[in-house]
Amino acid sequence: MRRTLLPLLLAAALLGGCSTAEPAPAPVPAGGAAALPGPVPADLALRPAPGTAPAAPAFTGALTDGTPFAAAELWAQRPVVLTFFNSWCTTCASRQAALSELARSYRDRVVFVGVAGADQADEVQEYLRAHRVEYPVILDDQQTIWRSYAVREPPAVVLVAKGGALLRGWPGGLDAPTLDQRLRELVLAGQS
């Protein structure tokens, strides 16, 4: 009996050692479809956009996970803050943690959208994870979106009202407290 059992145990041990483990699932890319907003809150009160405000340049692109994105679909329902950045921009990096926190505080009411220009996808992912960016991010490799908004270098911030009116742009970007104040002044009713 021992002679029969020993080869069976040895064969089982060898076969167990040869099995291939399931590969770990790839991490969900930061800035992809999972970062898109939920429904618009029913109590969202917005200031009307000035009738003299020009229309924001509409654009389409792909989020970091390849999901198609159309800006006009997003700003049809709520205000949008566009943040133009590069993974290597030191000013962007120094302001990003506070900007990410501001975006979380406005979640679903005002949507932040990052536009990464002329950057490598893996470096953008490192940047987004390091700075806890939880909003959608478009990869603008050819800087087409950047040019349509006259952005020459990062950082830059653009505010688009619900309906697509271009309210304001800030070359050089803004710090989070100043942007928070501008959102309260320009788009959120009863929030100043």
pLDDT tens for residues 90-145? Answer: 999 999 999 999 999 999 999 999 999 989 999 999 999 999 999 999 999 999 99
CATH code where residue 127 lies: 3.40.30.10
| Structural domain contains residue 3 | no
Query: Does residue 171 form part of some domain?
Result: yes
- Residue (of 65, 1, 15) closest to 36 by Cα position: 65
**Predicted pLDDT of residue 9:** 46
Identify whether 112 is part of a domain.
yes
Q: Are β-strands 137-140 and 156-160 bridged in parallel, bridged antiparallel, or unpaired?
A: unpaired
Q: First CA to last CA across the chain, in angstroms? A: 86
| 5 or 73, higher pLDDT | 73
Which of 135-149 are b and which e, b meaning 16 or more Cβ less than 10 Å from the residue's Cβ?
A: bbbbbbeebebbeeb
Q: Are 160 and 56 in contact (CB under 8 A)?
A: yes
pTM for this entry: 0.84
In a domain, 30, yes or no: no
Evaluate whether residue 182 is within a structural domain: yes
Amino acid 190: pLDDT? 72
**Residue 148 resides in a domain:** yes
* Strand partners of residue 70: 60
Residue 34 in any domain: the answer is no
Give the count of domains, the chain: 1
Considering the chain, what is the average pLDDT of its residues? 89
